[in-house]
Amino acid sequence: MSRFWSPVVSSLTPYVAGEQVVLPDLVKLNTNENPYGPSPQALAAIREAATDVLRLYPDPTALRLRTAIARSHGVEPDQVFVGNGSDEVLAHSFAALLKHDAPLLFPDVTYSFYPSWSRLYGITFREVPVDEGLQVRVADFRQPCGAIILPNPNAPTGSALPLQDIEALLHDHPDQPVVIDEAYVDFGGTSAVPLVARHPNLLVVQTFSKSRSLAGLRVGFAIGQRPLIEALERMRDSFNSYPLDRLAIAGAVAAWEDRGWFETQRDRVIASRERLAGALRALGFDVLPSAANFLFARHATISGEALAAGLRARSILVRRFARPPIQDHLRISIGTDAECDRLVAGLAELVDPPA
Ligand code: PMP
């Protein structure tokens, strides 16, 4: 607390991302990164871009990247907005599209940044509880509101809604912006991008951090009809006239175009996820079906706190959220099979301690 702070700063609770600690032989399954490296073509493109040309500002429109994304999604480049990770794209969406007199709706539970951005931008919000199975029920969103945001698949549960549910939401709220955060969609969800042509109120946000394994490059994007994209561009122009740096543009274009690498690594992550889900169930865990690159699981008898601490003592990091109704769940990012095996071995000792 400082006497120099504005009241907004005092009201903010800093986001605690997964621990970034260095432990011997660390297995890091706490921040939903991709265990496999980015496309070698992306790395080559970044190296090639690292020349004397870095003395020049980047393209303020990032047109190459927007064109590449637009082409494969069947939209025009001016329907694509890019930013430094989908977090920046989402932050601009909150400020530009989600602030209205009526409350913004999002699920409880969901991505923990949503309440933070709401507070930062002075947005009134109402959290719509998930059901006992931690599933989002779109029927519960059928209430007066100013706008809606939800991740699909949801975080941290990994549960995906079918496209009919998203369409129902859009039909129920034709005059409200609806933002679908598809950070994890490539691992088994269904993208709402094909609905953009018919729904002027829909904005779909995606990222290069997960399925393209480029969390460190910070690239995300949104697709929508032009008025929504223009709102985001206006917001960005007032803060940062360069959405992405030269290295990020070069790397993201190459990663986007290397479809083969993307599909192979994605399929490996999905196969490891299903393998890990089976191993966890065999240890007595209740595992939610996941369409993401993580699992959300709770043990029948041992608390989430004890499990997370026991794993940490074994240099294995997972994510735990210390709040009801999910205080006993662990969110486990999918690592390599070897990393998942280490996790299962660690959990086996905790669940069934040697005498
Ligand atoms: N949306 C959701 C639901 C997430 O879990 C994350 C990752 N923490 C993001 C958006 C942001 O990812 P990035 O900024 O790396 O694109």
Q: Is the pLDDT of residue 93 over 70?
A: yes
Q: Which CATH superfamily is domain 7-37+260-351 in?
A: Aspartate Aminotransferase, domain 1 (3.90.1150.10)
Is residue 114 within 8 Å of residue 144, measured between CB atoms?
Answer: no
Distance CA 193, CA 203 (A): 8
Cα→Cα distances 170→65, 75, 194, 350, Å: 28, 19, 13, 45
Q: Where are the domains of the chain?
A: 7-37+260-351, 40-257
The larger pLDDT score, comparing residue 7 to residue 149, is at: 149
Residues 6+ apart with CB under 8 A from 298: 285, 286, 304, 328, 329, 330
Is 253 buried (19+), middle (13-18) or exposed (0-12) by CB count in 10 A?
buried
Q: Is the pLDDT of residue 240 over 90?
A: no
Q: Is the pLDDT of residue 25 over 90?
A: no
Q: What is the DSSP letter of 276?
A: H
Q: Which two tokens stand for residue 266?
A: 């994605």
Closest CA to 289 of 162, 108, 115, 106: 162
Query: Which CATH number applies to 40-257: 2.60.40.10, 3.40.190.10, 1.10.10.60, 3.40.640.10?
Result: 3.40.640.10
Amino acid 16: pLDDT: 64
Q: Is the pLDDT of residue 102 over 90?
A: yes
Distance CA 305, CA 17 (A): 17
Amino acid 11: pLDDT: 76
Q: Which two tokens stand for residue 304?
A: 């989430």
Amino acid 136: pLDDT: 98
Q: Is the pLDDT of residue 140 over 70?
A: yes
Q: Which two tokens stand for residue 264?
A: 């192979």
DSSP tally for the chain: helices H, then strands E: 11, 12
Please compute the mean of the pLDDT values over residues 256-281 and round it to a whole number: 98
Identity at 177, one-letter amino acid code? P
Amino acid 5: pLDDT: 85
Amino acid 355: pLDDT: 58
> Which is the closest atom of ligand 1 to the Cα of 31?
8
> Which is the closest atom of ligand 1 to the Cα of 111?
3
Which three-class secondary structure state does DSSP give residue 304?
Answer: helix
Query: Which residues sit with their C-beta closer than 6 Å to ligand 1?
Result: 85-87, 111, 151, 155, 181, 183, 207, 209, 215, 220
> Which is the closest atom of ligand 1 to the Cα of 209?
15
Q: Ligand 1: which residue has its CA nearest to atom 7? A: 183
| Mean of per-residue pLDDT scores for the chain | 95
Identity at 339, one-letter amino acid code? E
Q: Is the pLDDT of residue 265 over 90?
A: yes
Please compute the mean of the pLDDT values over residues 315-319 and round it to a whole number: 96
Read off the pLDDT band of 63 (50, 70, 90): very high
Amino acid 2: pLDDT: 81
> Which is the closest atom of ligand 1 to the Cα of 86?
16
CB atoms within 10 A of CB 274: 14
Low-confidence winner among 13-22, 57-66, 274-283 (lowest mean pLDDT): 13-22
Cα→Cα distances 296→140, 202, 317, 327, Å: 23, 28, 14, 11
Q: Ligand 1: which residue has its CA nearest to atom 4? A: 183
Is residue 16 within 8 Å of residue 2, measured between CB atoms?
Answer: no
Q: Is the pLDDT of residue 15 over 70?
A: no
Q: How far is the CA of 8 from the centre of ligand 1 (A)?
A: 23
Please compute the mean of the pLDDT values over residues 97-123 and round it to a whole number: 96
- The model's pLDDT over 150-166, given as tens digits with 9 standing for 90+, comes to 999 999 999 999 999 99
Pocket perturbation via mutation, ligand 1, pick of 113, 185, 211 by most ligand atoms within 8 A of CB? 113
Q: How far is the CA of 86 from the centre of ligand 1 (A)?
A: 6
